[in-house]
Structure 1
Amino acid sequence: MSPDGHRGRGVALSGQPFAFRRGTAGMRAMIEVGAEHGVDVRKMLRGTGISPEMLHGGAVVNGTQELAVAANLVTESGAESGVGLAVGERLSLRAYGVWGFALLTCPTVRSAVEFGLHYLPLTYAVTALGLCVCEDEAHLVVEEPDSPPALRTFLVEREIAVTAGILRAILDGSPPSMRVELRLPRPSLDYETVLDAPVRFDAPHNAIVTNTAVLDLPLPQADPLTKTACERACHTLLLERSSPGITQRVRTIIDEGVTDASLVAARLHLSDRTLRRHLAAEGSSFRSLVEETRRAKAVELMNLHHLSVEQAALRLGYADAATFIRAFRRWTGTTPGAASGFRRQGNGTRRVDRRSSRHQD
């Protein structure tokens, strides 16, 4: 079915692009717009685990972190509309690397759209996009995300602006008969000037609409050999970014009881220095992962297995109970005994004191 409820054909919907890791160009574009609204970079990165220094030099982030930056931008700027358009305008085809170059080398607009949707996880999109051909019109639909209204507006604006810009870039000009349809109510901002196209508001969907004949237009920079090489590179990159990140792989090894960084690096066929660099690029560190794992294991040992503090300390590799207690206090701000809800009995076993633990969760 088409977005308007009529039967269409050629529907291709991408799924969950935000689940894949991506570069930092999307974040940098949001931070630039935030700066124009007087928002400090550290406020923009709040809650992401990303430092300003990590935004350059090939760092990789995930869609959840990118969504957090988007939410910070919307909240801190106080703008109800237009911010997403400003960010989308900054994400030129060049920002997309080999994915963007591949689109230029496709033979037609249709093949470029199909290629772009297939490899959408290599972009900075955090919403799904799809193509629906209905009668004499083609709809490039931006799926509306399940998020608060202000953030939803930002994400739709950004993807519409990005998509319109990409179409202009691959065709070396605006597609004939292009218009934009948005579910948003008409704002005070002049969307038509920004998007260089007529805009219909209060529409049943968010989409860029053109005549179906546009899909068969040849692209001026089409090159089959270059496209083949780019597609191989995109396929490899997609496999890399869809596989578990280095942080998750390290966490899995630590869960097995290996807490020596050199041994973990060897398991991953990396040097110590390379391992730490990869973790930093993902907003983590080996020490924080070890402490995170030990903290979770400590609570499990005492609450589920009813081990004493001394026994838990031994199982977790601490020299003595006092060292373990200090570490636990650093993690949680309280002692293992207070956190566990258990109290010691004469033979070293523990039972739940329901009167004292009832309201501790």
Structure 2
Amino acid sequence: MPSPPGTDRPRSVSIAFVRSAVRALDAAARATVLDEAGIAPALLAQPGARVPAQAFARLWMAVALALDDEFFGLDARRMKVGSFAMLCHAVAGQPTVGAALRQALRGFGLFFDDLTVSLRVAGGQALLQIDNRIRTHVHTHFHATAGDAADARRFADETLLVMLHGLLCWLAGRRVPLARVDWAHPPPAHADEYRRMFGPLQRFDATATVAVFDARVLAAAATVTPASLKAFLRDAPQSVFLKQVVPTGLGDRARRLCRSALDQGQAAPTLAELGRALGLSTATLRRRLDAEGAAWGPLKDEVRRDLALQLLAERRLSVADIATRLGFEDASTFYRAFRKWTGSAPGAWRSAQQATLPAG
């Protein structure tokens, strides 16, 4: 599924998703799928590591083929390869977003034994609720310990919500903002990923995982056409993940302007410069970014971090040249920032990538 206009910049995701995605595989199969995705195995041991979003998308398909399960072996019943495509064909003829979404939920009910999704409307809001019954004694080696089961429950909620939100946006023909997500687990180390994927307001330790959005979306006409169905299914379901890591709104515009400046060899804009480019006062820009959960300082660091990962993986520039390209005063300042972002030094991260990724 192509990215929306203006969102073709490289994006990265936490290694936590990679670790969860390969957990159901034995050592040999794990090595194979990581190699197919272009992800260095050494990164699994680095808590702060990140991988390109495209690499995780490739990993999703590789794991699905290895397990014949598009849901990473998380449920007692396999979601066999092709299930997601069949579900999308089944909802394509529905007249409204709400009718299609409810049809999709019935399909997921046929695929899963341990997970149930319900949709209800209250006070002008639509609530998608995931009831997760994954336990330690079911399935296979994936749930060898209580810790494994907790990881599986969390990752199942994350993955299913990615699928549901991706479907919702496809049916509506636009990105549907989530007003809030409640999670039925404590905040994980990668909790900040949720803001980028789902929206700024996240709550934890809830009784169930619930995604909230404007109920008026349900009454809108479904925008599915034969062409859009074909495009959506071209790389589904793993392509749905790429949709989730591309945020929209004012924060996204700010990211694009920052990235454009860096690509042209300029310094990252200040908040005042950014406001002038967007036609907003500094105070208004700061307030609106804060409302999106996208304060300018962390947002700028996020852009520089993702560009740093790209440049290091390409191996065309030295670490010192990358530091200069990103606007750091010197290489040592860049080293400190990169270690804070990823938990490793730039050279170590590049070496880990080089162990698996081809040159060029």
Same fold (TM over 0.5): no
Calculate the TM-score normalised by the size of structure 2: 0.37
Calculate the TM-score normalised by the size of structure 1: 0.37
